[in-house]
Structures are given as C-alpha cells and as structure tokens.
Amino acid sequence: MLKRRQGFSLIELLIAATIVAAEGALLAGGLLAANRSMDRRTEQALLTHLLASQSALLDSDLSDQTPRQGTFAAPLDEMAWSLEWVPMPNTSLVRATLTVEREGRSVNAVTYRRLAQ
C-alpha cells in the first residue's frame, strides 16, 4: 500500500516562491514607473507655467510674421521657447503657435491674434 504524501514538494515550493518574486518585481516596477510619471508631471507643470507667461506677453496685434525664439533665465536656461505665425487665409488673423521645450519634451499653445495694419 502506498504511503500518503504529506506537505509540499520542493518543486511546488520553488514555483510558489517564483510567483511571489515575480509579483513583487512587478509591484516594485509599477511603483518606479509611477514615480517617474510624477517627476514628468512636475516638469510638465513647469513648462506650462513658462508657456502661460510667454502667451501672456504676446501682443494683441501682431505686426510681423518672423518666427521668434529664446531661452529663459537661469536656472531654467535648459528650456527654450519659440513662436511661429501663420496668416489665416481671407481674414486679418494670424495663428500663433507658442512652444516651450526641454530636452525634446515640449508643450505648445495655439492662439489667434489680429494682424496689425
């Protein structure tokens, strides 16, 4: 008569341990990704502040269509802004696209202004 098996085999324990380890690694990886995302959001908020400031400084009437660009004062000198204007056909409006970027990441806003005569 066969003796009845008691407890878990080594293979079963190893499988259980591997599953627990994999779940833990996934959880830690998720937390790290969430942290990186939070960091990115902070940078995005800073870019948005700068974009809003540059946008506020845009004149109500634009007098020429030369693209403009510039950088910000230290310690934000890694960030740059640019402004491009496109005249809207059959209107006296121009479409101004304002962009603020840092290391390839950017935010932009599109606004419309009158073309100064």
Partner 1 sequence: MVELMLAISLFAFLIGSVAGLIRWSLQLQTRWGAEQAPHQRLDRAFSDLARDVESAQPLFNVPVTGQAGRLELAAVERTGAGAQWRRVVYRLDAVESGATLVREAFQWSDPAEEAQPLTRTVLTPLDSLAFAFGMRNPDTQAIEWVPQWDGEQHGVPQLVQATCTLPAHGSQPPITITRVMRNPAGSLPVRETP
Site string for partner 1, 6-35 (x = CB under 8 A): -xx-x--xx-xxx-xx-xxx-xx--xx-xx
Residue among 16 and 86 whose Cβ is closer to partner 1? 16
- Please identify which residue in 6, 53, 100, 113 interacts with partner 1, judged by CB under 8 A: 53
Measured CA to CA, the distance from residue 72 to residue 75 in angstroms comes to 8
Whichever of 52 and 80 has its CB closer to partner 1, that residue is 52
Tell me how far apart the alpha carbons of residues 41 and 61 are, in angstroms, rounded to a whole number: 33
With a CB cutoff of 8 Å and minimum separation 6, the contacts of 33 are none
Q: Which of residues 85-114 bind partner 1 (CB under 8 A)?
A: none
Count of beta carbons in the 10 Å neighbourhood of residue 23: 10
